A and B are shown apart, each in its own frame.
Chain A
């Protein structure tokens, strides 16, 4: 039975697939898929290196603090950071008092709701609070940035490239795709998946932020710093993870060598 019906079923699927293949091939030749502006002009992130890259990479705390400053002064008006708590900032090297002060002075407040009176209000942030959600009424939906570097391919480099990638729409693009002109209210950026986004260039020029550690705040420097900070917000346990990893791999290597020798021992008389 199986040997009779098996080949028939096989033939059935094969013929149905051939039918799809033939139709597909015919269509592909008759009306080849038109190239799109997104496909032709989208760029992959620049090759930007971070201290946390690679198996030995570690966060550079001074850079994270600078990045946090950029986030605070530039991004935080529109972008939330809701998975991160103020207390987490201690990992950037801030003292408990500094963390408390940062929380207290944070611009956006924690919403409160009195269940008895039904009144809504606000209170200052405390260290155990997460960063308060920021609401944005304008065009576009600014994404929460907590996980942004894990939610994009090559996330850190992507954010840095995007921040520094704003430019005039190339004339070549308009010549090739006249319909693809950047609409009003949007901004051209080849590192963004569909080339036009509603966020204007947030880092407009050198010196937009004044670093307390004396680092020169060039556009590239600020973009890289805030990207490094966002790598940290997405994976705060990165340092501990790699540390644990080396300990585990070292142990396993010795254990595996021993297991191999023991195996050789036991099999000695059988081969």
Chain B
């Protein structure tokens, strides 16, 4: 860490001292998430979701590895092997429900993490790299979740695989060969199921790798905070441990309460009944939808219903769907306001609460609704705002907005002017 007052690791006994000389892993952990990492003292509960997302990844890897011990990736028996897990494997039902709902929990947590980033402009310099890596993690998560949903080989699995690989078919000229290549056939079957299983097993470890980079990049400038004012003195920070370990521990408790309530009492509430029907290549379910966490992007995909000049509607939909996430990569350069926190940006705040948030809610709703009016027209309007918000409104707002006055320091924001003046008057160690 860059702060001069960061606590230094001191091995407590002979063993840790020996370890510190040979492989300073305890020192690494101490500096990463221990007392050696000074963090702004004013983080609110929106800053809990990073740790929770990490927890979700571990949860998914542990339950996933276990499920893989019992699952068979073969189109003939995949569905039956899942039912075998649900009925005969010891605690198998719990492992599967934990994994299926764990995916939902992971997305809830990550969406909140991302929206915290939107509101507090966590993507701004000097933290662009953290943001870019974060969006990369999100894309990898989407790919992993999609392939995981195919594995039970129910109706939604099969038709999801067909529709999503069909997106690549929209690419001019090479689209169809790419789709066939992706599936290893002309429709989803054994070849596709096996490679999806292989990649679904691999990608979480890639995600874990990118998360390490994400946290590494975080430790270079240090954590942002709700005021958006950078850390100035030692009194602005507290060590990560025990302050934020304790706070994250409490957050984890709340998270687990909600997660377990769903896991044990409504484990199928977030799923779709059709996926309990074995895959049938000859019959499409009446109303196919992806998992709920893809709804907004699915709504954008379906919003393009008419060819736009020479661009087919299908291609426009695919471009827009990928574009709607890729645009996040450019946020650090689209939003150029020098002020980070939405608390001090009156105009930005209005567009955030009354523009972006309702738009996302509408897209979430419309993505799960049938592809009929009025849902299509509503999602068209919402999609217009979505793109306008990031690509037109944010750049405009940053140049015309008059930010409200910022506190002098984080400590002032927490304790008020008088008390912080006393603390700041004390010279900090150099």
Is chain B found bound to chain A in the same assembly? yes
Given A13-B320, A83-B87, the answer on whether A262 and B249 have CB atoms closer than 8 Å is yes
**Contact residues, B254-306 vs A (CB, 8 A):** 254, 256-257, 260-261, 263-265, 267-268, 273-274, 276-277, 286, 303-306
**Does B46 have its Cβ within 8 Å of any Cβ on chain A?**
no
**Does A23 have its Cβ within 8 Å of any Cβ on chain B?**
yes
**Contact residues, A218-264 vs B (CB, 8 A):** 234, 236-237, 240-242, 244-246, 248-249, 252-253, 255-256, 259-260, 262-263
User: B86: which A residues are within 8 A, CB to CB?
Assistant: 237
Q: How far is the CB of A248 from chain B (nearest CB, A)?
A: 5
User: A2: which B residues are within 8 A, CB to CB?
Assistant: 330, 333-334
Report Cα–Cα, A240/B93, bound state, in Å: 10
Q: Is the CB of A147 within 8 A of B83?
A: yes
**Does A6 have its Cβ within 8 Å of any Cβ on chain B?**
yes
**Contact residues, A132-173 vs B (CB, 8 A):** 143, 146-147, 150-153, 155
Q: Is the CB of B308 within 8 A of A7?
A: no
Report Cα–Cα, A11/B323, bound state, in Å: 13
Report Cα–Cα, A24/B261, bound state, in Å: 42
**Contact residues, A156-199 vs B (CB, 8 A):** 193
Given A7-B391, A252-B253, the answer on whether A14 and B384 have CB atoms closer than 8 Å is yes
B372-410 vs A: 1/0 string, CB under 8 Å?
A: 110011001101100110111001000000000000000
Q: Is the CB of A21 within 8 A of B380?
A: yes
User: B190: which A residues are within 8 A, CB to CB?
Assistant: none
Stretch with Cβ within 8 A of A (4 or more), from B62-70, B106-114, B240-248, B343-351: B240-248
**Does B412 have its Cβ within 8 Å of any Cβ on chain A?**
no
Number of B residues with CB within 8 Å of any CB on chain A = 62
User: A120: which B residues are within 8 A, CB to CB?
Assistant: none
A1-26 vs B: 1/0 string, CB under 8 Å?
A: 01100110111011111111101110
Q: How far is the CB of B109 from chain A (nearest CB, A)?
A: 17
**Does A113 have its Cβ within 8 Å of any Cβ on chain B?**
no
Q: How far is the CB of B276 from chain A (nearest CB, A)?
A: 4
User: B141: which A residues are within 8 A, CB to CB?
Assistant: none
Q: Is the CB of B249 within 8 A of A263?
A: yes
**Does B178 have its Cβ within 8 Å of any Cβ on chain A?**
no
Q: Is the CB of A83 within 8 A of B380?
A: no
| CB-CB nearest 10 A-B residue pairs | A245-B264, A10-B391, A256-B253, A151-B276, A2-B333, A16-B308, A21-B380, A263-B246, A259-B250, A13-B387
Task: Given A10-B387, A21-B384, A151-B274, output 17 extra A-B contacts at Cβ < 8 Å.
Answer: A6-B391, A9-B323, A9-B387, A14-B387, A17-B384, A20-B313, A24-B373, A33-B373, A146-B83, A147-B83, A241-B97, A245-B263, A245-B265, A248-B264, A255-B253, A256-B253, A259-B246
